[in-house]
Amino acid sequence: MSISADNLAQHLKRGLSPIYLVYGDEPLLVDESCTAIREAAHAAGYHERQALTVESGFDWNGLFHSTQSLSLFSERRLIELRLPTGKPGEAGAKILMDIAAHPPSDIIFLVSSGKLDKQARAAKWVKGLETAGEVIAVYPLEGAQWPSWIRHRMEMKGLKPGAGVVELLAHLMEGNLLACAQEIDKLSMLLGAAEVGLDDIEGNLSDNARYNVFALADASLRGEPVAVERIINNLRREGVEPILVLWALAREAREMAQMSAMVADGQPIARVLEARRVWTKRKPLVTGALKRLSVNASQDLLRRAARADRILKGRGTGDVWQELQCLALCMSGMKPGTCNI
């Protein structure tokens, strides 16, 4: 049977299958699925564990005999087989099919692998394991899935994410699940069970240069094009990742687009600032930007941020730093045609 990684926990509560195959190209999620199976097996009395990795010259016959022999201590066992390439070869495929055809009653057999392509998923050994047990396919998170995954993981660690924290982590870490998990673990160790604010995230970034992205956003909102050019040039020279610069600017662009639309609908700026929960110390800054940027100008900022994002991800052509500079200058009030890039 094939089950999703999201449904694995519910499946394990109902009972264990004799065989599991977990595969995917997101190592962290594959490992965590295997850990869940391992812990459920231990709780069910499978206290002896044998872990094997398929490498050149692997003894497939030895694996088969191990699954058919009694445990040294007559205990139920968990046998884990790591198959990094997803290709057991002819001899390995035959052994896996033999194990699937006659799964031992005192053993749980767990196979983990990297990504399996369409041809590999149709292989007889995969179908055999699926017939005898469960197959769990693990897929990388899509962009829209990141915020909920981050929030859930932070809450599991006892952390309560404050405003903007989940969005910051999602934007900075998208595509690197392991780094994101490590960042959350670090916050947990530093803060314990506590609320996490943007200041906590900023305070734990690896170099001080990253703070300047917030200075860049503020200079843009204040309408200071000279300062904008100076800061963004410094960021580029210092090797700051453009994704961090884009996050800071895109966040302000989204807020300005939403607030300028509310002002255009006739809402007083003071009420808009309260509705959007703008910090007191930033209210003069944002008020000035709202008076300077029209709805159309704010929408243009969003389009420019989206274009920079496409270039950054290799889906568009151009120089991402030039796009970021033009985005920041337009936010500062310069007309698009006058961006000196």
Rounded-to-10 torsion of CA 114, 115, 121, 126:
10
pLDDT at res. 210 = 43
CATH topology of domain 2-138: Rossmann fold (3.40.50)
- Given this chain, do its domains 143-203 and 208-338 carry the same CATH topology? no
Tokens of 327: 């985005």
Cα(72)–Cα(52) distance, rounded to whole angstroms?
17
Is residue 134 scored above 90 in pLDDT?
yes
- DSSP result, 161-202: E-TTHHHHHHHHHTT-HHHHHHHHHHHHHHH-SSEE-HHHHH
CATH architecture for the domain at 143-203? Orthogonal Bundle (1.10)
Cα(47)–Cα(188) distance, rounded to whole angstroms?
30
Phi, psi (rounded to 5 degrees) for 109 = -105, 115
pLDDT digits (tens, 9 = 90+) for 243-260: 888 988 998 999 899 899
CB atoms within 10 A of CB 62: 11
- Candidate from 67-81, 264-278, 318-332 with smallest mean pLDDT: 67-81
pLDDT digits (tens, 9 = 90+) for 281-311: 788 989 999 998 889 999 999 999 999 999 9
Rg (CA), the chain: 27
pLDDT band at 74 (very low <50, low <70, confident <90, very high): low
Tokens of 182: 């490590």
Question: 137: burial class by Cβ within 10 Å (0-12, 13-18, 19+)?
Answer: middle
Cα(176)–Cα(166) distance, rounded to whole angstroms?
15
Mean of the per-residue pLDDT values for the chain?
Answer: 86
pLDDT at res. 170 = 80
| Mean pLDDT along residues 106-133 | 92
pLDDT band at 108 (very low <50, low <70, confident <90, very high): very high
CATH architecture for the domain at 208-338? Up-down Bundle (1.20)
pLDDT digits (tens, 9 = 90+) for 6-32: 889 889 999 999 999 999 988 889 999
Tokens of 24: 């995917």
pLDDT digits (tens, 9 = 90+) for 190-229: 888 888 887 777 656 543 334 478 889 889 999 999 989 9
pLDDT digits (tens, 9 = 90+) for 152-193: 999 999 999 988 888 878 876 766 788 788 888 888 888 888
Q: Which residue, among 214, 215, 242, 241, has the nearest Cα to 227 in the 3D structure? A: 215
Cα(328)–Cα(314) distance, rounded to whole angstroms?
21
Domain-wise residue ranges, the chain: 2-138, 143-203, 208-338
The fraction of the chain above a pLDDT of 90, given in percent, is 39
Helix (H/G/I), strand (E/B), else coil: 218: helix
